[in-house]
């Protein structure tokens, strides 16, 4: 124990002596957690819409007003024909073109139906898909309003309809930040812990102090623990800062047990720290460690379920995601923060992440070559 205590004292002195590390630990997660949820938002608004109104009737004007009033679309132009609308799409001034035929109001009044043409700029697939869906839904609702007015105007009983009442569970206000912030916090804890530990042993190699440690009777287990424990403590500090930012900036209060969140993070950090230490035992320079960690962090981030559900990924990607420790932290964070899941619900993830920590740290200890 005395050996580990002396190693911890040495590590903390090195950390607090380096002001850039303190800024990395305190300032970077705070700023990223404030900025990233605002940018990582899949709710599409301000879609530029060009309307080619060949009818110029009250019905077409009412439909266009209903579309613009939804708040999702911005009427950017009213071209005289479809060709002019296509020019706007080619110039990136319009995202969608809605063409209303010249007999729109007459056919609705006489025949009870009419078709409109919708052209979508699909360069941005997400924006195109959501924009087309939004517009189709608004037009469908406008059509239902017309049918309802006709049914009330005529004394014929309206056809029976099924009314759907939706109830949004776990996130009633559909606030996208409530979904993204826990996932981004999980990524930040992983990045801070992984990068700092990956650079730690490599820095000792570059400075030459690793040779002084190698000729001492310090065991490899003590050395790895001395490198892991300080960043395990700092990782919990980063997590606490993230929770405070989530509360004061976004008003996010975990529905579940806060102690359960800390318990999982406490079990998770040895896994990501052990991975960072394993990388550092293979590298000879900090530049090598940075590139390798950046490579793996991109995979962890994109295949951890932060932006896209793992269930919608290809089968091979779902298998790879099972070996990604970030997957489990993101999932558990969202389960506790949004659903209020209990210990039994997250128990399988506890076992998995503990297994990750044990395996990665054993590999780091075995791969660290100590000469005497």
Per-residue pLDDT tens over the stretch 326-348: 999 999 999 999 999 999 999 99
Token pair 């318990």 in the structure block, residue: 263
The per-residue pLDDT for 20 is 75
CA distance 305 to 325: 11
With beta carbons less than 8 A apart as the criterion, state whether 58 and 31 touch: no
The single-letter DSSP state of residue 158 is P
Given a cut of 60, whether residue 106 has pLDDT beyond it is yes
Of 16-25, 85-94, 119-128, 282-291, the one with minimum mean pLDDT is 16-25
CA 265 to chain centre: 18
Q: Domains (ranges, CATH) in the chain?
A: 2-40+173-367 (no CATH), 47-153 (3.40.1710.10)
The per-residue pLDDT for 30 is 86
Given a cut of 50, whether residue 253 has pLDDT beyond it is yes
CA distance 138 to 96: 14
Instruction: Tell me the average pLDDT across 23-29.
Output: 79
With beta carbons less than 8 A apart as the criterion, state whether 277 and 197 touch: yes
Given a cut of 90, whether residue 108 has pLDDT beyond it is no
Look at residue 115 and give its three-state secondary structure. Answer: coil
Residue-wise pLDDT tens digits, 139-184: 888 887 776 676 555 555 555 556 667 777 888 877 888 889 999 9
With beta carbons less than 8 A apart as the criterion, state whether 193 and 272 touch: yes
Given a cut of 50, whether residue 372 has pLDDT beyond it is no
User: From the CB of residue 249, how many other CB atoms can be counted at a distance below 10 Å?
Assistant: 15
With beta carbons less than 8 A apart as the criterion, state whether 158 and 148 touch: yes
The single-letter DSSP state of residue 96 is E
Of 44-48, 95-99, 122-126, 138-142, the one with minimum mean pLDDT is 122-126
Residue-wise pLDDT tens digits, 256-294: 999 999 999 999 999 999 999 899 888 888 889 999 999
- What does residue 99 show for φ and ψ, rounded to 5 degrees? -105, 120
Instruction: Tell me the average pLDDT across 239-245.
Output: 94
Instruction: Tell me the average pLDDT across 286-308.
Output: 90
Of 217, 221, 241, 240, the residue nearest 229 (C-alpha): 221
Given a cut of 60, whether residue 5 has pLDDT beyond it is yes
Q: What band does 349 get if pLDDT is binned at 50, 70 and 90?
A: very high
């Amino acid at each position: 124990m005395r050996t580990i205590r002396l190693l911890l004292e040495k590590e903390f002195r090195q950390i607090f002596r380096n002001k850039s590390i303190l800024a990395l630990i305190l300032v970077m997660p705070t700023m990223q957690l404030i900025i990233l949820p605002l940018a990582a938002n899949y709710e599409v608004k301000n879609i530029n819409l060009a309307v080619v109104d060949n009818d110029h009737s009250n019905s077409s004007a009412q439909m266009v007003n209903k579309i613009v009033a939804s708040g999702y679309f911005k009427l950017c132009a009213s071209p005289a024909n479809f060709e002019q609308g296509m020019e706007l799409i080619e110039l990136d001034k319009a995202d969608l073109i809605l063409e209303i035929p010249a007999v729109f109001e007459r056919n609705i009044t006489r025949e009870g139906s009419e078709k409109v043409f919708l052209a979508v700029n699909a360069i941005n697939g997400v924006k195109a898909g959501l924009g087309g869906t939004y517009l189709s839904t608004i037009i469908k609702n406008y059509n239902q309003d017309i049918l309802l007015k006709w049914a009330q105007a005529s004394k014929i009983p309206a056809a029976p309809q099924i009314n759907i009442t939706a109830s949004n569970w776990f996130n009633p206000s559909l606030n996208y930040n409530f979904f993204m912030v826990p996932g981004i916090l999980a990524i930040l804890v992983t990045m801070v812990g992984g990068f700092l530990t990956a650079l730690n042993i490599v820095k000792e190699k570059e400075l030459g102090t690793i040779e002084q440690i190698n000729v001492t009777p310090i065991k490899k287990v003590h050395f790895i623990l001395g490198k892991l424990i300080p960043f395990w403590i700092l990782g919990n500090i980063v997590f606490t800062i993230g929770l405070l930012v989530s509360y004061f900036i976004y008003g996010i209060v975990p529905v579940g047990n806060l102690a359960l969140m800390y318990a999982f993070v406490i079990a998770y950090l040895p896994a990501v720290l052990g991975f960072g230490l394993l990388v550092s035992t293979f590298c000879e320079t900090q530049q090598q460690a940075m590139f390798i960690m950046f490579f793996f962090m991109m995979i962890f981030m994109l295949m951890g379920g932060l932006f896209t559900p793992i269930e919608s990924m290809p089968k091979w990607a779902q298998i790879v995601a099972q070996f990604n420790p970030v997957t489990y932290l993101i999932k558990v964070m969202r389960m506790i923060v949004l659903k209020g899941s209990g210990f039994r619900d997250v128990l399988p993830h506890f076992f998995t992440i503990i297994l990750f920590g044990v395996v990665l740290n054993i590999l780091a200890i075995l791969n660290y070559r100590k000469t005497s």
